[in-house]
Structure 1
C-alpha cells in the first residue's frame, strides 16, 4: 500500500505544517506510515478556501439535480474501490475486515441516498394571512466543520460530508488523529469525482488544537461532531459563544433488556453482537444488560458460554469476531477500568485480561469480558468504557427496570427482547434514548434519523431532513395587494 505525506488543504494536496502523526497497525503495533498533520495556518487556509469556493457561482448556483449527480459519482467510486478502502481501514483501525467492508458499503449508500433525497427535497408555500404569497426556502450555511471519530471513520465521514455538500456547503473535515488514512483516501476519491477545488479539506491533527481551531474559526458556520461527551460539551460551549448551530453525537451506556418471554437464541446472539462487535468500541454498544431475576442465571450462563467461544484475532482475518482495540493506550485504559470494577466488587465471569499466546503479544487485544455483582449506581455501570465489557444486572419488575435503565446521564440507544409487542411498545416509549431496537440490535438505515438524548448529544443525522440540518431557513413574502399599505397614508 502506497502512502504519501500529503493532506488536503483548501483543494491542494500538500504536506501539512503540523506535528508528525504515526499511524500503527493495532494487530502488530508496527508503524504503517507517518504524515504531517495540519497546523493553525492550514486550518485558516482551508476555511478561507471553503468560504470562497462555496460562494462561487459554479457551486452556489448549481441546481440540486446537478449536485446530486456529483454525489452519485462519489458513491460509484467508493463502490469501485471498496476492497482497498476496507483493507486500509482495517489496517489503520484494527477492525475486522468484515466490518470495514460493511462500513465502506454504508458510505457509498450514504452518498447515494442523499443524492436521491436532494433530487426530491422541496421547499414550502405557507398559508398566507394577508395580501401576500409566502414561502419557506433553505440555503447553504457556508463552511461546515466536521469532526469524526476513530472507530468508524469512513461511514462517519460520509454521514457528514454527503448531506453538507448536498445542501451546498463547503466542508472542513477533521478526522481522528489515530486513524486518518481512510479519511484522506476518501478525500482523494471525492476530488477525483469532480468536486470543485476548495469545497473539501481533510485536516488530520490533535483535537485540542486543530479541532478546536475549526470549531472557533469565525467563518465556520456550523460544526458537526461525533465523539466523546467531554469534548462534545466543550464544543457546545464554544458554539454558544459564536451563536452557531452544532450537532453532537456523543457517548452512551446503553441498556439491553431481557424479559422472561424472550427468545433466548435471538436474545443471546443479539446481545453479543451489540456489545462485542467492533470490540465494544461503539457509542451505541449495549454495555448494560438487564435480565429479569427469574431467568438471570440461565441467560447469564448462556452469555458467558458463547462469549468464551468468540474468535479473537487480527482484523484482516475474515474469521475474526473480536479484533484488537484501536491502540495499546486505549487497551490499557479499558483494562484499568475493569480493574476498577474488581475494586468495586465486580465478579469477572469471563475475560478481564488480554488473551495469552505469542500471536497476541504485540497487538492491542483484550478479551471480551462479562461482569456482574455491581449496582447500577457503580462507576462501572455509569461510565462509558468503550471496549468489550458487558455488565449484567437483574431487575424485578417493569417499574424497577425503567428506573434503572433510565438512571444514566446518557440516552443514546436501547435494546428490548420480548415476544410481547405490548410490552415492547410500552417500555420502548418509556426509555430515554434516541434509538430503541426490539428483538434486534445495532441495525441502521441511512433513511432513519439518528441522535442522542441527554448527554448523548443534540441534533440528528440521517433521513431526508438530514440535509436541512446543514441549511439555513429563509422566509419570503411576495406582496399581492393592489393598494399601498395603509399605515403610511400614501
Structure 2
C-alpha cells in the first residue's frame, strides 16, 4: 500500500477536517508510513452530531426491514471486497493475512447477524389491573450514539458498534484508534455504497482526549459504547455521569486458562497457545495466565514451549505467517518492560523473552513468543494486562487454589477451563468471577452470545440480543378503551 491521504468521513462526505492536520499511519512490520489520516477536532464532532440529529429521525421512521436490508447489502459488499479489506488491516496493524481475512469476514458477520435479529425483536404487551386496559412496552432508538474503538480489531469492532446502532434506528459517530483509522474509513466507503443515508454515519479519527471527550459531553449524544483501556473507560464514565446517559464499556481482560490433569493435554496445549497468540496476544480475551495441575505441569510446559518455538514469525502478508509485529513501538516497549520486570522478580524463561532485531526484523516492532515459569504471584506478568505474545504458566493443586489465583485480578472478562469432569467444570464456572467462560474450547466469543465483563473489564457489553438492547430505550404505554 503506497502512502495516501485519508480524509474524515463527516456526515456522509469526505472532508479534510477543521484542524487541517494529518497523522502518519505506520506499517508496524516495516516502519513505513503508508498513509496520512486527517485529524478531527471538536468542531468536526459538533458538525457530525448536528447532522446526525437532523438525519436520525427520518432513519428511525424507516422500517426495521428496510434498515436490515441496508445492513445485509453492507455485509455483501464487505464479503465482495474482503481481500482488499484484509490487506488494509495487515498494512496498518501488522496482523497476519489469514487472521485479517477472518476479521474482515467477521465484520460482515456482525452486519448479517444484527440485520437478521432486528425484525424479530418487538415490544411487549402486559396485562393491566383494570378491565379494557393493557400496558405496552415499546423499544425505540436512542437517537445519536457515540462509538469509540481500539486498534487491535479495527474493522470488526467498527462493524460491532455500527451494525446494532444502525439497525436499531440510531445514527452513530465513531472514533477509531489513532494507530488504525484506515479500516473504519474503508467500512464507511462501503456504507455509502450500501445505502446508509447522509448524516447517519461519521468516522472521525483523532485524539481520544479531544474527540472522545467532545462526543461524551455533547448534549445530543444519548449513548456511548466504547472498547478500550480502563483509564479511558473511567474518563468516559465520569463525563457520562455528569449528563446521566448510559454507557457500555469493554475494558480489557486478564483471562485465566485452567488445565486439569484429566483433560486432553494435546488439545489443551494447542488451545492455550492459540488463545494466547491470537493477534499476537493483542486481544482482550487472550490467555493471559495459564494454570496447570501439578501432575502434568512439566509435560504441559514442554508441549506449549515446543508449539511456541515452532510458530512462524515474519512478514504478515505471507500465507504461512502465524505471528506478526507488535502494533507500535510503545506497545513493544510495554511488553518488554513487563517481561524484564517479571524475570527480575524470579521468573524463568522457557522460550523467548526478548525482542527480535536481526535480519528481516531489523525494522518494525517484533517480540519473540515467550513462555515464563517460576512466576511470583505478585509478578507484573500475572497482574498487568500484557497484550502481547507472552504467557506465564503456574502450577496448582486444588480447585479452591486455582479459583483463588484466577480471581486475583481486577479484570473479569474471559476464562477458560479444560477438564473431562463435567461436575468440576460447572463448579469452576460458579467460582470464577468472569463475564464469560469457555469450557474445553478456545475463544474468541461469538456474535450471538453476550460479550460482557465484570470488575475492571467494564459494564454493558456487546453482541447478541442483549447487546442490541443497549442501543434502544423502552417506553411504557398505558392503554384504555371502551366497550361499544
For the aligned pair, the TM-score class normalised by the smaller chain equals: over 0.9
Whole-Å separation in 2 of the counterparts to 1:217 and 1:391: 43
Q: Give the drift of 1:302.
A: 1.4
Q: What is the distance in 1 between the residues matched to 2:13 and 2:258?
A: 50
2:70: which partner in 1? 70
Q: 1:207, 1:69 → 2: CA distance?
A: 33
- What CA distance in whole angstroms lies between the structure 1 residues aligned with 2:326 and 2:213? 26
Aligned to 2:53: 51
**SS, match of residue 178 in structure 1:** coil
Summarize deviations over 1:52-99 as a string: whole Å, max 9, x none: 11023xx12111111111111111111110100001111110001111
> Shift of the alpha carbon at 1:378?
2.7
1:284 aligns with 2:285: yes
| 1:400-453, Cα deviation, whole Å (9 max, x unpaired) | 111111111000001111111121121122111111111111133211111111
**Aligned ranges for residues 373-412 of structure 1 at < 5 Å?**
373-412=374-413
**d(CA) in 2 for partners of 1:415, 1:28:** 35
Provide the C-alpha distance between the structure 1 equivalents of 2:94 and 2:283, rounded to a whole number of angstroms: 14
- What is the deviation of 1:372? 1.9
Q: Who is 2:42 aligned against? A: 40
Match of 1:437 in 2: 438
Q: Secondary structure at the match of 2:395?
A: strand
Distance 1:51 1:126 in 2: 32
Q: Residue in 1 aligned with 2:80?
A: 80
Q: CA deviation at 1:385?
A: 1.1
CA distance in 2, matches of 1:84, 1:279: 21
Q: CA deviation at 1:461?
A: 1.1
Indicate if the aligned counterparts of 2:349 and 2:370 stay in contact, CA closer than 8 A: yes
What secondary structure does 1:445 align onto? coil
What do the CA deviations read for 1:229-275 (whole angstroms, capped 9, x no partner)? 11111111111111110000111111000101111110110000011
Q: Secondary structure at the match of 2:287?
A: coil
TM-aligned CA deviation for residue 482 of structure 1? 6.6
Q: Deviations over 1:123-169 (max 9, x none)?
A: 11012222311110111111100001100011111111000001100
Alignment correspondent of 1:61: 61
Q: Deviations over 1:187-236 (max 9, x none)?
A: 11101211110000000011111111111111111100001111111111
User: 1:486: which partner in 2?
Assistant: none
Structure 1 position 197 matched with structure 2 position 198: yes
Q: Following the alignment from structure 1 to structure 2, what is the Cα–Cα distance between the partners of residues 8 and 356?
A: 38
Work out the CA distance in 2 between the residues paired with 1:338 and 1:407. 19
Partner of 2:118, secondary structure, is: helix
Matched, 1:94 2:74: no
Write out per-residue CA displacement over residues 321-357 of structure 1, whole angstroms, 9 at most, x where no aligned residue. 1110111221122111111112222112111111253
- 1:122 equivalent in structure 2: 122
CA distance in 2, matches of 1:364, 1:110: 31
Distance 2:67 2:416 in 1: 38
Q: 1:308 to 1:50 in 2, by over 3 A?
A: same
Distance, in Å, in 1 between the alignment partners of 2:377 and 2:238 is 30
> Which stretch shifts more, 91-100 or 339-348?
339-348
Name stretches of at least 5 consecutive residues in structure 2 with no aligned partner. none
Q: C-alpha deviations, 1:462-483, integer Å up to 9, x for none?
A: 1123222101100001113579
Query: What CA distance in whole angstroms lies between the structure 2 residues aligned with 1:198 and 1:298?
Result: 58
Contact 1:17 1:36 in 2 (8 A): no
Which residue in the other structure is 1:206 paired with? Answer: 207
Of the structure 1 ranges 125-134 and 380-389, higher mean CA displacement relative to structure 2 is found in 125-134
SS of the counterpart of 1:467? helix
| In structure 2, C-alpha distance between the alignment counterparts of 1:21 and 1:65, rounded to whole Å | 39
Contact 2:147–2:172 (Cα < 8 Å) also in 1 = yes
Corresponding residue number in structure 1 for 2:30: 28
Structure 2 contact 248–459 (Cα < 8 Å) conserved? yes
- SS for the counterpart of 2:359 is coil
Q: How does 1:237-386 map to 2 (within 5 A)?
A: 237-386=238-387
Q: Aligned partners of 1:442 and 1:469: how far apart in 2?
A: 24
Q: Conserved in 1, the CA contact under 8 Å of 2:345 and 2:376?
A: no
2:18 maps to which residue?
17
Cα distance in 2 between the residues matched to 1:283 and 1:421: 27
| Matched position secondary structure for 1:122 | coil
Q: Contact 1:376 / 1:393 at 8 angstroms: preserved in 2?
A: no
